Each structure stands twice: as C-alpha cells, then as structure tokens.
Amino acid sequence: MTAQLIDGTALSKQIRAEVAQRAAALTARGHKPGLAVILVGEDPASQVYVRNKVKACEEHGLHSVLEKYDATLSEADLLARIDALNKDASIHGILVQMPLPKHIDPTKVIEAIATTKDVDGYSVLSAGELVANLPGFRPCTPYGCMKLIESTGVSLKGKHAVVIGRSNTVGKPMALLLLQANATVTICHSATPDLAYHTRQADVIVAAVGRRDTVTAGMVKPGAIVIDVGMNRNDEGKLCGDVDFAGVSQVASAITPVPGGVGPMTITMLLVNTIESAERVAAK
C-alpha cells in the first residue's frame, strides 16, 4: 500500500482563504480582527516564528501588533503590557512567544492573558474548557492535527487513536480533542514500556515526541492514519518528523509529510482562533 499524502500546505491555503473572507466580513462590520505578538529577547528561532505569525496576519486581512522587548524586560513590565492589551478593544488575541528569559515566570505570563484573548489556548482556564467540552480556544497544533485528520474524510467515531507524547501544548490537548471526536484514546509517553504494542492497535497515530524514527513501519497497523507532529533534523541536517516516512507510507492509508504537514497548520489555526475571538466580540 502507498499512503495518501495529507497535504498540510494545501489544506492550510484553503483554510486561510476562509480566514481572509471572515476577516473582511468582520472588518466591514467595524471589528477588524487583531493579534498582538510579544517577543522578549533575541532568540533567533523565536524571531522567525513571530515574523511568520505577523506576516500571516497581514496577508489575510488581520491587524497585527508586534511588540519586541529587550531580554532585560522585567516580569512586572511584561505583565503590565499584557494587562493593557487585555483592555485594548482592537486586539482579539494575545500571544507571548516562548521561551522567555529565565527571570520571567512563563506560567504567570500565560495566566495573565485574558481567557477571551488566549488564542494559543495555553492557559489553565483554556485547558479546563477543553476538558469540560466548553467553547474556548484549542491549542493551535493539535487543533491543526484534527483538521488534517478530518480532511481524510474518515470519521474518528469508534476508532482507536494512539497519541505519543503528553505535553501540555500538544499531546494532552490532542488526546482530549480525539476523545471529543468519539475516538478511544491511548496516550503513550517515555515511561510506556512497549510503544509498538500500542501503536500496532491504532487506527490513528499522532506522534508528538521530538525524536526521529520513533514510529517505524513495523509499528503501524496496515491502513492506519499517521499524523507526524515532530520536528527534528536528520543526518544531512534536513527537517524530519518522528515517523520514518519512507517506511510507514508503505503501510499507512494516509500520512502527513514533514515538512508540509502539521507545520503549516499551526499558524493557520492561530489565525482561525483570532478570527473566532473577534467574531465572539462582534456577536455581543
């Protein structure tokens, strides 16, 4: 079997076209959606990430504000900026790029963002909303994975999904979203003794580990859907995922590539969350 490629770039383009339409409709009603992105320090990877987020806003009709601060910014000053953005009616989403300098407590910062503007979905309240099936913002990467699975046309109802990884930003919310979609969910992690035992039973595998070749062909049930969240480098320095793509694509029915799978969906779902936030305000 050769798996169908789940093309995150193409799906992302389609969803972004819808985002642009929704942004234009909101703007016409006087509610131009706005995202504030805060970067503290000079981390090179973070600089690229925030630039891409701002660029994506600009290209799709959202208003964006990029606030860059020196690594010496105090925690109190950062919290004061978040407070001001919480009160700013032109801003519907606030994102603080991680990691923060060591003297700033990331939990304090995330919890300072108003839940109504927590478009990253990282706060304890947003996590609680997800657990309780309440409307709220879903963390962008797992939300994007759900869209990728949906795009295959396969219903998750009654399927067995195995999530590898249990981070607060990817693995755990991913498992909850799959559960909400009526899958039976198993979560594996570094203390799982026999990972292959679990993955071989899965109709859907989501790998979010950060170690290449974590999932190989012999670990996959024929016909399974495989979503690869991992971002690693191979021996040639090229970007690769957690899944041995060449081998697993001979067994799975559908698979995401790296790059071009989950990656493009993450910023797209950030735009979607910001639009949803602005639509909630406009509906009041």
Binding mask 215-234 for ligand NAP (x = CB under 6 A): --------------xxxx--
Taking the complex as a whole, the smallest distance from the CB of residue 58 to ligand NAP amounts, in Å, to 20
Binding segment toward ligand NAP, per CB under 6 A, in 46-54, 88-96, 196-204, 206-214: 206-214
Residue tagged active-site, from 117, 118, 120, 147: 120
Out of 171, 202, 219, 252, the residue judged to bind ligand NAP by CB under 6 A: 171
Per the CB < 8 A criterion, the answer to whether 214 and 241 are in contact is no
What gap in Å lies between CA 108 and CA 162, rounded to an integer? Answer: 32
Binding segment toward ligand NAP, per CB under 6 A, in 42-50, 169-177, 218-226, 249-257: 169-177
What's the distance, CA 125 to chain centroid?
17
Does 195 engage in binding with ligand NAP (CB under 6 A)? yes
Q: What are φ and ψ of residue 174, in 5° steps?
A: -60, -50
What gap in Å lies between CA 136 and CA 163, rounded to an integer? Answer: 22
34 DSSP 8-state letter:
E
120 is catalytic: yes
Map residue 184 onto helix, strand or coil.
strand
Binding positions for ligand NAP, 44-103, rule CB under 6 A: none
Kindly give the pairing relationship between strand 254-255 and strand 225-228: parallel
What gap in Å lies between CA 274 and CA 194, rounded to an integer? Answer: 40
97 is catalytic: yes
Out of 108, 189, 238, 280, the residue judged to bind ligand NAP by CB under 6 A: 189
Identify the CA nearest to 226 among candidates 243, 246, 211. 243
Does 166 appear as a known binding residue?
yes
53 is catalytic: yes
Given its phi and psi angles, is residue 100 left (phi above 0), alpha (psi -120 to 50 degrees) or beta?
Answer: beta
Does 126 appear as a known binding residue?
no
Does 167 engage in binding with ligand NAP (CB under 6 A)? yes
Does 206 engage in binding with ligand NAP (CB under 6 A)? no
Amino acid at 274: T
Positions at the binding site for NADP(+): 165-167
Question: Which residues does the annotation place in the binding site?
Answer: 165-167
- Where does this chain bind ligand NAP (CB under 6 A)? 141, 164-167, 169-171, 188-192, 195, 208-211, 229-232, 262-263, 266
